Amino acid sequence: MSRNDSAPPTAVLTVFRLAALFVFLAVAMGSVVCATGSGAACPTWPGCRPDQITPQWELSPIIEFVHRVVAMSAGPLVLAAAVMSLFLKRPHRLVRILPWVALVGALASGAFGRLVVLSSLPTWLGGVDLFAALTAMTAMGVAAVVLGSFTSDLTLRSAPKWRPLQVRSLAAMSVIVLVVMHDTGIFAAAPLSYTRCMGWPIWQLIDTDLHPWLQVLRLGLAGLGAVLVITTAVMAVRTERLRKWGILIGTLFAAEMVLGLVIRAGGINAAVASAYSVLAVALLSCLGLLMAVAWSAQVDADATALETVPPKPAEVH
């Protein structure tokens, strides 16, 4: 049977992809807000100021307000994807479960974001906030890729001679290590330190930050993460159907490392910090997407192999 028999409607796939895109943009814009210190530029919620909804024509309020608009747009899209998943014909269980996981993460992160503006957020809740946002981004991205994989027709191509299982496992381990590395930055950072924002450690201890042991742990996680990301990219490049993903991930990682060297050598400013944070978000997102693409490719290979096995001749008695 062809996978097209259970292919999702185009409208559903579009909603899933838009939800994944807007959650990614919300996380990326949140990292820019942190990197530029724009969080306090709009002191009320949901409008920017008590007497005006939109921000004044200044960079920091505009950054914060755009982040809010994108985040508020992501919520309904994720909710729509979650509801639509309930009515799909024979979807994979991940397509049913992950949008709801993303919805919980998005709602939690949105609630924490509102709390940050109106009052304050304890450090441990800041860690929960970031974890919820990264979980929502990864879950919605994976759901969109898995749903999209059901549009392919397995009967039109031969069984691949490779197994993307290693790429999937490496990408999954990379995601786990990077999420822990980024999240622990909140606990290691001093108040208002850039360490609390999305970004790799700058390969040195920062005297003004807290908990040196946690900084050392983050450097170790960064080293392990670098090995995993590089290995994932190399393995993906060696696999024809994943080559573009491998090149993209390798490019993002290289750009992140170059910017890290720039920051270490010449200090940090808002533009460089923003680029460094957005690259970190993009790299993590692409690793999650690659994990899903590799999983889908493995399913394709297994299903096609089963379809191409000739039936055994009936025994004559």
Nearest to 132 by CA among 115, 107, 114: 107
CA–CA distance, 220 with 224 (Å, rounded to integer): 6
The residues of the chain scoring below 50 in pLDDT are 1-3, 153-161, 302-309, 317
DSSP letter (8 states) at residue 40: T
Nearest to 75 by CA among 35, 113, 37: 113
**Per-residue pLDDT tens digits for 187-215:** 999 988 999 999 999 877 788 888 889 99
**Per-residue pLDDT tens digits for 114-159:** 888 888 789 999 999 999 999 999 999 999 999 988 665 433 343 3
User: Is the separation of the CB atoms in 37 and 271 below 8 Å?
Assistant: no
User: Is the separation of the CB atoms in 36 and 29 below 8 Å?
Assistant: no
Domain ranges of the chain: 9-151, 157-306
The CATH topology of domain 157-306 is Four Helix Bundle (Hemerythrin (Met), subunit A) (1.20.120)
Token pair in block for residue 279: 């690259």
- Check residue 6 and give its pLDDT: 60
